[in-house]
Amino acid sequence: MKTIEWFDGKVRYIDQTKLPLEEIFIETNDYRVMAADIKQLVIRGAPCIGVAAGFAVALGALEIQERERPRFLARLEEVAGEIKSTRPTAVNLFWGVERVMEVARVGVGVDQIKRSALAEAKRMAAEDEDICRRIGAHGSELIQDGFNILTHCNAGALACVDYGTALGVIRAAHEQGKKIHVFVDETRPLLQGARLTAFELTKAGIPMTLITDNMAGHIMRTRKVNCVVVGADRIAANGDTTNKIGTYSVSILAKEHGIPFYVAAPTSTIDLKIAKGDDIVIEERKEDEVTTIQGKRVAPFGVKVANPAFDFAPSKYVSAIITEHGVVRPPFEQGLRSVVSTANQAIRQARQSG
């Protein structure tokens, strides 16, 4: 089951807001529907958002009626802008839009641009699963038989096209026959851990224990946690890693308890234009995500609320960043530049060979 794919002339994706109780798929050829669904977290998780953004631009291109190339491209730039405005933090959104826009901008005629935009989006979707499996293969070398692993949020198949990044590492270790166990932070406010990671691990038959976010420190102090593995939404050039709110606390807890803190992410999540975590825009979401749980009010009316959706693990707390092109260790800057350059070369080659 793919989280998102091109299916019968439309984009098809699972509605992540309904999981784990209902498995509902949405099919659309309207980029506006996809943009709204990215905003509402129907589509979520950085790599999945990146692929969705690519498909959304391609749908926009297919829909534009304009026959004159400059006008067509001007309208497509507007579509790209609309898609980029949905969420600010995960760089994969911007990366996904730009990958398709790059091929569109060099297209010779409108029909050719439409074809190449869709081809590029499909290529991104196909690459994503392979990338996750390679992250899994590299990362599983850090996981030993008998390990207890703690994860935060959902960096699984649902956050990608399939397989996952942090959960890709965990899946690969499990597939190698290592007996592992995962502590899953529930991840308030939107419960991506309880709803999505628990759903995926249970389906895969990987032993796990669900905990609330405020239990992580106690679990690290009183039980054996061998490592933390999380995904990422944007990694700055110095290795500061933005991920779901709560990741900062987990990174400090891991440091305090001498537990390695690993980040598993595709190179598309690395943003070399951003020097450090403090420069990353943190999405602030609506108050009702905090004052309610699954639609049920839990806080008094009129209470003041903060709802930052992300924070960052400072690079000094990050033990390694696991990418599809290998494991990068501190100091991160040079290693991150090298894996990004390898990835960009691979994209150019893939485009050339069609």
Q: How many residues bind ligand MRU (CB under 6 A)?
A: 18
Please report the beta strands in 200-258, taking only residues with DSSP state E, as ranges in sequence order: 208-211, 227-230, 234-236, 241-244
Question: Applying CB under 6 A, does 231 fall inside the site for ligand MRU?
Answer: yes
Binder to ligand MRU among 34, 153, 263, 318 (CB under 6 A)?
A: 153
Binder to ligand MRU among 244, 253, 280, 319 (CB under 6 A)?
A: 244
Backbone angle region of 205, left / alpha / beta, with phi > 0 → left and psi within -120 to 50 → alpha: left
Question: Applying CB under 6 A, does 251 fall inside the site for ligand MRU?
Answer: no
Residues 6+ apart with CB under 8 A from 262: 139, 142, 166, 169, 227, 228, 229, 230, 318, 319, 320, 321, 322
Q: Least Å distance between CB 64 and ligand MRU?
A: 28
* Cα gap 116→100, rounded to integer Å: 8
Binder to ligand MRU among 44, 123, 134, 325 (CB under 6 A)?
A: 44
Binder to ligand MRU among 11, 232, 270, 318 (CB under 6 A)?
A: 232
Question: Applying CB under 6 A, does 192 fall inside the site for ligand MRU?
Answer: yes
- Cβ nearer to ligand MRU, comparing 37 with 120: 37
* Cα gap 189→197, rounded to integer Å: 15
Exactly one of 37, 233, 240, 271 is catalytic; name it. Answer: 233
Backbone angles phi, psi at 58, to 5 degrees: -60, -40
Backbone angles phi, psi at 337, to 5 degrees: -60, -40
233 in catalytic set = yes
- Cβ nearer to ligand MRU, comparing 107 with 189: 189
Kind plus residue range of the DSSP H or E element containing 320? strand 320-323
Token pair for residue 269? Answer: 């999540």
Q: Which residue in the shown chain puts its C-beta closest to ligand MRU?
A: 231
> Contact at 8 Å (CB) between 241 and 155?
no
Backbone angle region of 281, left / alpha / beta, with phi > 0 → left and psi within -120 to 50 → alpha: beta
Q: How many residues does the chain have?
A: 354
Considering only the stretches 45-53, 273-281, 288-296, 319-327, report the one whose residues sit in contact with ligand MRU under the rule CB under 6 A.
Answer: 45-53
Binder to ligand MRU among 4, 47, 50, 271 (CB under 6 A)?
A: 47
Question: Applying CB under 6 A, does 107 fall inside the site for ligand MRU?
Answer: no
Query: Which of 183, 179, 111 lies closest to 145, judged by CA?
Result: 179
Query: Which of 68, 73, 78 lies closest to 117, judged by CA?
Result: 73
Question: Applying CB under 6 A, does 139 fall inside the site for ligand MRU?
Answer: no
Q: Least Å distance between CB 152 and ligand MRU?
A: 7
- Cβ nearer to ligand MRU, comparing 151 with 315: 151
Question: Applying CB under 6 A, does 309 fall inside the site for ligand MRU?
Answer: yes
Binder to ligand MRU among 58, 150, 155, 173 (CB under 6 A)?
A: 155
Considering only the stretches 137-145, 153-161, 202-210, 329-337, report the one whose residues sit in contact with ligand MRU under the rule CB under 6 A.
Answer: 153-161
Considering only the stretches 133-141, 158-166, 297-305, 324-332, report the one whose residues sit in contact with ligand MRU under the rule CB under 6 A.
Answer: 158-166
Q: How many other C-beta atoms can be found within 10 angstroms of the C-beta atom of residue 287?
A: 15
Binder to ligand MRU among 4, 46, 124, 161 (CB under 6 A)?
A: 46
Considering only the stretches 44-52, 205-213, 326-334, 342-350, report the one whose residues sit in contact with ligand MRU under the rule CB under 6 A.
Answer: 44-52
Burial of 1 (0-12, 13-18, 19+ CB in 10 A): exposed
Question: Applying CB under 6 A, does 233 fall inside the site for ligand MRU?
Answer: yes
Query: Which of 200, 264, 240 lies closest to 20, judged by CA?
Result: 200
Catalytic residue list: 233
Under the rule (CB under 6 A), what is the footprint of ligand MRU? Answer: 41, 44-47, 90, 153, 155, 159-160, 165, 192, 231-233, 243-244, 309
